[in-house]
Amino acid sequence: MTDQSPSYHYQVIGRALQVIDAEGPALTLEALAQRMSMSPAHFQRLFSQWVGVSPKRYQQYLTLGHARRLLDERHTLLGTALETGLSGTGRLHDLFVTWEAMSPGEYARGGEGLTIRWGWFESPFGPALVMATDKGICGMGFADEMGAEAALEDLVSRWPKATYVEDPVALRPMVEAALGRKATGLHLIGAPFQIKVWEALLSIPTGHVTTYADIAGAIGHPQAHRAVGTAVGRNPISLLIPCHRALRRDGGLGGYHWGLPRKRAMLAWEAARTDL
């Protein structure tokens, strides 16, 4: 692996994001660059290339008040977005050329008859476990909080009767496209209510947020806040179906299945690139 490869860059930026998140605004550029075994100038160029802003500017996006500012300034009213046709294959925030949902009957069979390929990949948010069927990516999770074995068990348990094949070589092109914000496909495997919630999440533009209450209203179940929260938490395709963009009404982060540090980092990353 060379120091010019995308995989190497993902590892460097992933480590840097974790260090910034853990140590806060007191961390200097020089100290951070030293931790990454780079000169300050080289590290700042690389970081700005991948994140879109300088490390110091990114630190500002990680402050505790950032989620509340997002809610004040970039609160997407999903009902309006859905009514104006921003959901479905015409929108999908420029990430996906298409998505398909498994039928309720197929879902009830626990993935029986499906072949799901999986592999581990570097991402800006730590090691990412990605799973895909022939129709597209169906699962993405992160290992930093729970560990690789638990993350794998977590996703496998969603579709216990599927056949699993470790095949990162076959998956790499679609994973690199997805992480590079280029067109790819998704295969949504869930119950009908869950899929409604996940479709609503797909209508939230990059760099914006919404609330669990807004999602409930947008899918026609305005009182189902708790059920919406559960469905958001069960989203199997983290990052690509942007459950990290759902906040509590008061601006609190709420929960995140793969750990709140990941959620905070994702929101900061997207807001920084959107501002740029």
Q: Which residues are catalytic?
A: 243
- Check if the beta carbon of residue 227 is closer than 8 Å to that of residue 208: no
Sign of torsion, CA 251 252 254 260? positive
Tokens at 134, concatenated: 């022939």
Amino acid at 234: R
What CA–CA distance (Å, rounded) separates 123 from 129? 10
Q: DSSP secondary structure string, 178-231?
A: HHTT--EEEEE-S-HHHHHHHHHHHTSPTT-BEEHHHHHHHTT-TT-HHHHHHH
Tokens at 33, concatenated: 């660059």
What CA–CA distance (Å, rounded) separates 156 from 147? 14
- Check if the beta carbon of residue 161 is closer than 8 Å to that of residue 153: no
What CA–CA distance (Å, rounded) separates 233 from 239? 12
Q: Give the DSSP H/E element, type plus range, for residue 271.
A: helix 260-275
